[in-house]
Amino acid sequence: MAITFLFCLLAGRFFYVQVIWDDDLRALALDQWMREIPIVAERGRITDRNGTVLAGNETSYAVFLRARAVENKEYTATVLSEILECDREELLEKIEGGRVSEITVARRVEKEKIEKLCSYDLDGVYYSRDNTRVYPYEDMLCQVLGFTSTDNSGTTGVEKYYDKYLSGKDGELLYETDLVGVDLAGAVAAYLPAENGLNVELTVDCEIQAIAEDVMREVYETYSAASAQCIVLDPQNFEILAMVNYPSYDLNNVPRDDPDTLNALSRNSLVSDIYEPGSTFKIVTAAANLEEYHQGNSSAFSPTHVFSSARTRSVDGTTIRCWSDHSNGKHSCQTIAEALNNSCNPCFTDMALALGSETFYEYLSLFNFGKETGIDYTGEALGMLLPESAVRDCDLARIGFGQTIAVTPLQLACATAAAVNGGYYYTPHLVRRIYSSDGSTNESIETTLKQRTVSEETSRLLAEMLEGVVREGSGKKAYIEGYKIGGKTGTAQKYENGHIAQGKYVSSFVGFFPADDPQYLALIVVDEPQGAYYGSVVAAPCAQKIFQGIIDVREISPYEEI
């Protein structure tokens, strides 16, 4: 019985080693008798929508060392350290340690150094082609593109989000060696080719991006601001045409040794950070009110309704004031259009309270506040929205004019687009397609409708009102003669530790054109401008310059009523 048991045990072990372990044992044997020289796949390019290369590659080389094949360890360590400018003692320790059969000595080595290294004919040292990621436009779109690590994998931005397409698959050149890693005479090499990465085509337009960056740089410097940001998108499909965060940094010289600086400069705050939008949010309140009016809600105000002439409203013991003192009857009797022109807070308090928290929150959800937009970018913030169950009347009143709510700039830009484009909220995106080196498309990023926000009628009427804001209201400095520009200004006080931060403001403007068929929408946010701080003074002129730049490069003709 015991002999039978032992026989079965040995037979089982034999079967396990010969069958189950077969592949693993073959791999181990192959590894002992083969030297692998990696063939690095070329990382895919990132281009703008017109094919302009924003992220590409330069050929460089990687140097490897097989420790057991090195004859003169100290000499080899000395030569490598001198040519490749690495630490000799650290390298020598790795060679003598024998813990790793193959050592990566250096990546991204220039051709001249490889030629010099080859002249020494060092045993156990070899090299292969590598790629150095290069960004021809240096700091352009830096927070969106992101950068790669030393091993060429995506670390941030588009480089990270689409890394599985961009990275490709490395190949190998295999040589037969003896047990210590020395090449066998007459051995034949086996070649496993690399699969280069796919290319990524952005929705971004380089010309519009350059215009927006120049304007943001100018306002940042003029007003000594903490930051200046801009989004330009197509309201018809929510393709991102430009995205600017200033100050910026050179993608070819990433400050990796200073984590705090790197985090601050590489963060795409348009997607990842939140702020109180102030009066630009009144677009959403007006849209909700007008839509409810068109739906027959008797609590909503009609477009011709004249609001109370009182300068203030008192809600739960909180006093809400209009910025104007209403002297001599100025701004004392206003319709919705005039309230938008004058940016009078009490009128929007009236709208929010009349709709009530349940109805108003339905629109906040439709306009995607408190939720991700779904943009193809990591680290998107949700914003900050009080739970409906916790909202008091004084909170609702303030939300109506853009306080007690925090949003990302992207959320606000998308919400505005959905309010004026006929009521369609799409998923915003930065990439149009993934394509191979021969130009053939591997994957297209389709336009996706998320939901309807308001009706065509409401959207058209609101766009007309916002055109009036630019033509004769607080947005006059965004006006361009002969073109229908719509928009809304915003000036919000900043809070620190729950209290108003004296002298600190966020100036903003969101605008679009043509007002009767929006093709371009721009949101400008200038944080802590010094001197002037009103959105009408600081941000609105930025939109005017960006729109004028687009008109010039696209050769858009003025309207006949000029």
Give pLDDT, residue 66. Answer: 81
**Is there a single domain that holds both residue 385 and residue 519?**
yes
HSE-up (13 A, CA, CB side) for residue 222: 15
Asked if 69 contacts 33 with a C-beta cutoff of 8 angstroms, the reply is no
**Is there a single domain that holds both residue 159 and residue 298?**
no
Which candidate, 372, 360, 396, places its Cα nearest to that of 287?
360
Which candidate, 140, 105, 111, 366, places its Cα nearest to that of 246?
140
**Is there a single domain that holds both residue 445 and residue 526?**
yes
Please tell me the total count of domains within the chain.
2
**Is there a single domain that holds both residue 84 and residue 213?**
no
Length of the chain: 562
**Is there a single domain that holds both residue 147 and residue 79?**
yes
**Is there a single domain that holds both residue 190 and residue 218?**
no
Asked if 438 contacts 448 with a C-beta cutoff of 8 angstroms, the reply is no
Q: Is there a domain that residue 438 lies in?
A: yes
**Is there a single domain that holds both residue 225 and residue 300?**
yes
Q: Is there a domain that residue 495 lies in?
A: yes
With a CB cutoff of 8 Å and minimum separation 6, the contacts of 559 are: 482, 483, 484, 514
Q: Is there a domain that residue 322 lies in?
A: yes
Q: Is there a domain that residue 192 lies in?
A: yes
Tokens read off for 439 = 């130009």
Q: Is there a domain that residue 560 lies in?
A: no
Q: Is there a domain that residue 321 lies in?
A: yes
**Is there a single domain that holds both residue 169 and residue 216?**
no
Task: Give the structural domain span for 268.
Answer: 206-251+258-554
With a CB cutoff of 8 Å and minimum separation 6, the contacts of 216 are: 228, 229, 230, 244, 246, 524, 542
Give pLDDT, residue 502. Answer: 85
Give the Cα separation of 86 and 351 in Å (integer): 68
Q: Is there a domain that residue 143 lies in?
A: yes
Give pLDDT, residue 25. Answer: 43
Give pLDDT, residue 464. Answer: 98
| pLDDT 10s digits, 471-517 | 999 999 999 999 999 999 999 988 777 777 888 999 999 999 999 99
Give pLDDT, residue 15. Answer: 54
Q: Is there a domain that residue 444 lies in?
A: yes
Asked if 349 contacts 334 with a C-beta cutoff of 8 angstroms, the reply is no
List, for the chain, all residue ranges whose pLDDT scores fall below the cut of 50: 17, 25-34, 178-182, 184, 328, 562
Chain mean position to CA 140: 13
Q: Specify the CATH number for the domain of residue 125.
A: 3.90.1310.10
**Is there a single domain that holds both residue 218 and residue 73?**
no
Which residues are known catalytic residues?
279
Q: Specify the CATH number for the domain of residue 327.
A: 3.40.710.10
φ/ψ of 353, rounded to 5, equals -70, -35
**Is there a single domain that holds both residue 472 and residue 508?**
yes
**Is there a single domain that holds both residue 287 and residue 367?**
yes
**Is there a single domain that holds both residue 218 and residue 331?**
yes
Q: Which residues of 355-368 are buried (b: 16+ CB within 10 A; e: fewer)?
A: bebebbbebbebbb
